[in-house]
Amino acid sequence: MAQNQAMDAALLTLAEMGEADRLTIAAGTPGIVLMERAAEAIAETVLARYPGAERVACLAGPGNNGGDAYAAAAILLRAGREVRLFHLVPPEKLQGDAANAAAAYDGPAEPLAAFDAQSFDLVIDGLFGAGLARPLEGEVAELVERLNAAATPVVAIDLPSGISGASGAVLGTAVEAEATVTFFRRKPGHLLEPGRSHCGAVAVSDIGVLSTALETIAPKCFENRPALWRHRLAVPSDAGHKYDRGHAVVFSGPASRTGAARLAATAALRAGAGLVTMFSPAGAVLVNAAHLTAVMLKRCEDTDELASHLGDTRLNAFVLGPGFGAGETARAYAEAVLAAGGRLVLDADGISSFKDDPEALFAAARAASEARGDSEPALVLTPHSGEFKRLFPDIASAEGLSKLDQARLAAERACAVVVLKGRDTVIAAPDGRAAINATGTPWLATAGSGDVLSGIVAAQLAQGTPSFEAAAAAVWMHGKAAEAFGAGLIAEDLPGMLPKVFAGLEATGP
Ligand SMILES: NC(=O)C1=CN([C@@H]2O[C@H](COP(=O)(O)OP(=O)(O)OC[C@H]3O[C@@H](n4cnc5c(N)ncnc54)[C@H](O)[C@@H]3O)[C@@H](O)[C@H]2O)[C@H](O)CC1
Ligand SMILES: [K+]
C-alpha cells in the first residue's frame, strides 16, 4: 500500500518514461492511442480552464510533442473552437505517430513564421517536450521570447518548450506557461526551478501507461509527499512515554547568539521529540536559562564536558550549527557526537566549519554509519547553496549537473542525507533515493527558518525515524507550517503551526 502510494509520487527520468511507454505498447496499447489520450487531456484542460477562449493557436514541433499538438488541435476544432496550427517543420516531414496525427488533422495549418500571439486568446505549446535535446535558438527562440512578452496565456504539452525535464533548466530560452499537462507521472523538471515556475499549474493525466511498469522500473526519485515517509514516522502513542520519543540536543552559540539554537530546540519539541536539552557554553547559560521553559539546559564548555554528557546514550539526536560559530570547536563537537553513536543534523556554521577539510567530516560520517550496523546514515546535512559550495566545491561548479544530481552526488560522497535547500529543496540519500519538495511559500526565506528546519529533522531522528524519511518529512512539514501561517511569517511562527500540520497529516491521505 505504502509502496503503491509512493509510486504515485515518482518523478521519472526520460529513460524511465520511455521504458514505461515501451512496456505499455508491448502489452497492447498502440502509441497512437497514447497520443490520442494525451491530446484529449490537453483539450479537456483547455476547455475547463479557458471556457471563453475562442481563437486557439497550436504550435507543433518536429517530434511527438508536435503530434500531440496536431491531435489536440483536431479535438478543439471538433469542439467548435477557431483553431489554427503553426508548424516548425512541414507535416510531411513528421514520422510515426506524429505523422499519423498530422494526417488526421484537417484544420488550417501554416508555418511557424506566420504565428502572431496577439491574434489569439490561447496558445498551446507543442514545440518540444521530453525530446528537447539542445538549447532553443534562432527562429524558435525568438518566437518563444515574443510569446512570453505577449499577454496570451499558454498551455504547455508535457513541458514548457525549452525546459529540461531532467533538470528544470532553461535551455536557451523557455516558454512561460500558465498550465502544463504532463502524462503518467511528473518529471524532475516540473518541480526543480526554474522549470517549476515556467510550468504554472501542472496537471498529470493518466493516459493509460501501465502503472505496474513502475515495479520493473523501480524509480528512485519522488515528489516529497507523505506517502514516502508517513509509514516510517514515529507518532506519539497513547501508551507511550516521553522517553520513548527520544532526547534531542541542540548546541547553543555564545551569549550574544543564542536565538538560533532556541528556535531549533523549540521546533524539536513541537515536532515530537520527547525531551530536548540545550548544551550551552558557560558564558551563555544565563541568557539561555532566562528564555527556556520546557527545553532543558546543560552547561557544555569544552570537549571534555561534551564527552561526559555523551556517556548518556539516551541522548540520540543532535543539532549543531545554528548560531554556533564556525571553527575548531564545531568540528570537534561534530566528530565527537558521530563517534559516540549520535545522529547529527549539521547546519549553517556547523557545515562551514569543515570547508577546509570536508573529508574529515565525511570520514566521521562513514565510520558512524558503519558502526551502526544498519548502514543508516548518521549524518544529515542541511546546506543552502552557499554552504553546499563550501563542502562540495567541485560538485557545485560542475557543468550540467542539476540540483538533483548535485544532492545525490554529495550524499554519496558524504555518506549523509543531504538536504539541499531552496524553493525546490532536494533531499538525497547515499543509496540514490531522492525527493524534491514542493511545499512552502516565499515567506520561508526569512532569518531563522533553517534553524527551525534543523530542529524538526532532529525531532524525527530522536524518535527513530530513518534519516532519509526524517529529513523528507521535516522539509514537508516545515513548508506546510509556512503555508498554514500565510503572509507575514517569521521563523518564530513556524513551531506553533506544527500542531496544525500534524492534524492535517492525520486527517488526509497521501
Ligand atoms: N507516454 C507519454 O509520455 C507520451 C508522450 N507523448 C509526447 O511525446 C513527447 C516526446 O516526443 P519526442 O518525439 O521524443 O520528443 P519531442 O517532440 O519533445 O522533440 C523531439 C524532436 O525535436 C528535435 N529537437 C530537440 N531539441 C531541439 C531544439 N532545441 N531545436 C530544434 N529541434 C530540437 C529532435 O531532434 C526531435 O526531432 C512527449 O513530450 C509527449 O508530448 C506521446 O504523445 C505519447 C505518449
Ligand atoms: K511543449
Whether 323 and 280 map to the same domain: the answer is: yes
Ligand having the closest approach to the CA of 15: 1
The reply to whether 510 falls in a domain is: no
Domain for residue 481, yes or no?
yes
C-alpha 180/C-alpha 202 separation (Å) is 5
505 lies in some domain: no
Ligand 1 within 6 A of CB of 131: yes
Decide whether any atom of ligand 1 lies within 6 Å of the 17 Cβ. yes
Assess whether 436 and 489 both reside in one domain.
yes
Residue whose grid cell is 526551478 = 193
- Work out which ligand 1 atom sits closest to the CA atom of 128: 18
**Residue 504 maps to a domain:** no
- Does 212 map to a domain? yes
Number of Cβ within a 10 Å radius of residue 143 = 23
Mean predicted confidence (pLDDT) in 374-401: 96
Say whether both 210 and 257 belong to one domain.
no
Q: Is the CB of 128 under 6 A from ligand 1?
A: yes
Whether the CB-CB separation of 280 and 468 falls below 8 Å is answered with no
- For ligand 1, pick from 29, 158, 202 the residue to mutate: most ligand atoms within 8 Å of CB: 158
Q: Which residues belong to the annotated binding site for K(+)?
A: 65, 125, 161
User: Is position 341 within any domain?
Assistant: yes
N- to C-terminal Cα separation, the chain: 11
Report whether pLDDT(510) > 60. Answer: no
Ligand 1 atom closest to the Cα of residue 66 is: 17
Which CATH number does the domain housing residue 276 bear? 3.40.1190.20
End position of a domain, from candidates 156, 184, 219: 219
In this prediction, residues 187-216 reach a mean pLDDT of 96
Looking at 167, 187, 219, which one is the last position of a domain? 219
Q: Say which CATH number the domain at 180 has.
A: 3.40.50.10260
Residues 204 and 258 in one domain: no
Peptide bond preceding 194: is omega within 30 degrees of 0, i.e. cis? yes
Based on the fold, state whether residues 350 and 393 are members of the same structural domain: yes
445-447-453 Cα angle (round to 5): 75
The more confidently predicted of residues 363 and 239 is 363
Q: Is 162 in the pocket of ligand 1 (CB under 6 A)?
A: no
Q: Report the pLDDT value the prediction gives residue 220, as an integer from 0 to 100.
A: 97
- Ligand closest to CA 18: 1
> Is 43 domain-assigned?
yes
Same domain, residue pair 247 and 206: no
Q: How far is the CA of 34 from the centre of ligand 1 (A)?
A: 14
Give residues with Cβ within 8 angstroms of 133, minimum separation 6. Answer: none
Pairing between β-strand 434-436 and β-strand 426-428 as defined by DSSP bridges: antiparallel
In a domain, 506, yes or no: no
CB of residue 132 inside a 6 A radius of ligand 1: yes
For ligand 1, whether the C-beta of 448 sits within 6 Å is no
Q: CA 340, CA 329: separation in Å to the nearest integer?
A: 16
Q: Per-residue pLDDT for 413 more than 60?
A: yes
Q: What are the distances in angstroms from CA 27 to CA 22, 208, 210?
A: 9, 11, 9
Q: Which of 132, 180, 185, 214, when mutated, tests ligand 1's pocket best, judged by the most ligand atoms within 8 Å of its CB?
A: 132
Which grid coordinates belong to 95? 514520422
- Domain shared by 22 and 135, yes or no: yes
Task: State what percent of residues in the chain have pLDDT above 70.
Answer: 97
In the block, cell 496525427 appears at 101
Rama region for 169: left / alpha / beta (φ>0; ψ in -120 to 50; rest) = beta
Does residue 251 sit in the same domain as residue 180?
no
Between the alpha carbon of residue 26 and those of residues 73, 210, 215, 455, the distances in Å are 28, 11, 16, 49
Q: State the chain's mean pLDDT as an integer.
A: 96
Number of domains into which the chain is organized: 2
pLDDT at 65 over 90: yes
Q: What is the pLDDT of residues 415-474, one digit of tens each?
A: 999 999 999 999 999 999 999 999 999 999 999 999 999 999 999 999 999 999 999 999
Rounded-to-integer distance, Cα 126 and Cα 104, Å: 17
Q: How far apart are CA 510 and CA 508, in angstroms?
A: 7
**Ligand nearest to the Cα of 14, by number:** 1
Report how far ligand 2's centroid is from the alpha carbon of 173 (Å): 13
Residues 355 and 472 in one domain: yes
Smallest Cα–Cα separation from 217: which of 181, 185, 190, 180? 185
Torsion from C-alpha of 320, 322, 326, 327, nearest 10 degrees? -20
Mutate to test the pocket of ligand 1, among 64, 182, 207 (most ligand atoms within 8 A of CB): 64
* Ligand 1 center–CA 426 separation, angstroms: 27
Same domain, 165 and 75: yes
CB count in 10 Å sphere of residue 150:
15
| Binding-site sequence positions | 64-68, 125, 129-135, 158, 161, 260, 323, 384, 421-425, 450-451
pLDDT digits (tens, 9 = 90+) for 292-329: 999 999 999 999 999 999 999 999 999 999 999 999 99
3-state DSSP percent of the chain in helix, strand and coil, to 5: 50, 15, 35
Q: Provide the CA 236 distance to its chain's centre, in angstroms.
A: 27
Does pLDDT of 509 surpass 80?
Answer: no
Burial of 495 (0-12, 13-18, 19+ CB in 10 A): buried
Judge if 302 and 415 occupy the same domain: yes
**Per-residue pLDDT for 1 more than 50?**
no
**Which range marks the domain in which residue 38 is found?**
2-219
Same domain membership, residue 317 and residue 189: no
Rounded to an integer, what distance in angstroms lies between the CA atom of residue 105 and that of residue 241? 68
Ligand 2 centroid to Cα of residue 106, in Å, is 22
- Point out the ligand 1 atom lying closest to the alpha carbon of residue 183: 3
DSSP codes joined into one string, 207-235: -S--TTHHHHH---EEE--GGGTGGG---
Which of residues 219, 254, 280 is at a domain's end? 219
Could you tell me if the ipTM is greater than 0.95? yes
Å from CA of 167 to ligand 2 middle: 15
65 within ligand 1 shell (Cβ under 6 A): yes
Cα-to-centroid distance, 71 and ligand 2 (Å): 14
For residue 458, the one-letter residue type is A
Cβ neighbors of 70 (< 8 A, separation 6 or more) are 39, 58, 60, 85, 91, 98, 101, 102, 104, 105, 126
